[in-house]
Amino acid sequence: MARMAAVPERHESFREERRLAALNFPLVMTGTLRYRRPAHLEKLTETPQPESLVVEGDRVELTLGNEPTQILDLARAPELRVLVDAVRAPLSGDLAALRRSFAVRATGTPDAWVLELQPLEPRAARFLRAVRLAGSGTNVRETLLLQANGDVHHMLTRPLP
């Protein structure tokens, strides 16, 4: 974790697959991720529909296609917050912050590690069952979000030059 904290900025491409209980087939999204310490996260989706999600602290700016930007407060949307925390806290290397919200289990070697998170708060647990992050060194390769209702978000990331 401490080595993660040493990376001030990350820029990655992603491919996300969503298997939702409500839909017949998975939704696939691609785009780029940008992270800057300590709390700035940008997710720019390119396909199938352009979207920009910028998180700075608790403030979320969400722009869907050409629609006007919506500003959300993470504290007002606990469901979103737990998702953001699950992705952002490991990148920041802040194990203490992670442990406040999740039960954390780390396995593997520095070159092939797995971090499993389970939300501690009952309200969050009713929504999010578990998060599984896998990577090597300071890079996260794979993020898997398992929701309580059976929805699965699976994201693969590759560093960009």
Partner 1 sequence: MLAALAAAALLLAAVLLLAVRVRTDMAEFLPRGETEAARLVLREARAGAATGLILVGIEGAPPADLARISRAMAEALPATGLFSLVIGGEAALPEAEGAALFARRYLLSPASTAEAFTEPALRADLEALLRQLGSSMAPLAVQFGLADPPGAFLAMLRGWAGSSSVRVVEGAWFAAGQDRALLLARSRAGGMDIPAQEAATAAIQAAFLAASPGPARLLVAGPAVFARDAARAIRGDVERIALLSTGLVALLLWWRFRSALVLAAIAVPVVLSIAAAALVVQLGYGALHGVALGFGITMLGVSLDYPVLMIGHRKAGEPAMATRARIGPAFVLAVITATLGLAAMVFSGFPGLSQLGVFSAAGLAAAALATWWLLPRLVVAAELAPVSAGNPAWLAPVEGLRRWRLLGLLPVLAAALYLAARGGPDWEGDLQSLSPVPAASRALDAELRAQLGAPEVTQLLVIQGADAEAVLRRQEELWPVLERLRAAGALAGAELAARLLPSIATQEARRAALPAPGELARRLAAAGAGLPFRPDAFAPFLQAVAASRDLPPLRPENLAGTPLGARLEPLLFQREGRWHGPVALRGVHDAAAIRAALDGREGVVYVDMRQELGGILARYTAQAWHWLGWTGLLVLAVLAAGLRDAGRVVRVLGSVVAALLVAVAVLTLAGARLSLLHLVALQLVAGIGLDYGLFFSRPLLDAEERARTLRTLVTCNAMTLLTFGLLAACQTPLLRDIGWTVAIGAVLAMGFGFLFAGERPAPRGAGQRR
Name the site residues for partner 1 (rule: CB under 8 A): 18, 20-25, 27, 29, 43, 45, 48-49, 51, 53, 58, 62, 64, 73, 75-80, 83, 127, 147, 149, 151, 153
Would you say 38 or 78 has its CB closer to partner 1? 78
Tell me how far CA of residue 157 lies from CA of 26, 62, 121, 124, 152, in angstroms: 18, 21, 28, 25, 16
CB 30 within 8 A of CB 44: no
Q: How far is the CB of 40 from partner 1 (least distance, A)?
A: 16
Q: Which is nearer to partner 1, 30 or 107 (CB)?
A: 30
Q: Report in angstroms how near the CB of residue 79 gets to partner 1 at its nearest.
A: 4
Phi, psi of 57, rounded to the nearest 5 degrees? 65, -125
Least distance to partner 1, CB of residue 156, Å: 17
Residues 6 or more apart whose Cβ sits within 8 Å of residue 112: 134, 136
Exposure of 111 by Cβ count < 10 A (0-12 exposed, 13-18 middle, 19+ buried)?
exposed
Kindly state the tokens that stand for 99. Answer: 């442990």
Which residue's CB is nearer to partner 1, number 7 or number 58? 58
Closest by alpha carbon to 88, among 76, 77, 101? 101
Kindly tell me which of 48 and 137 has the beta carbon lying closer to partner 1. 48
**Smallest distance from partner 1 to CB 22, Å:** 4
> Closer CB to partner 1, residue 133 or residue 145?
145
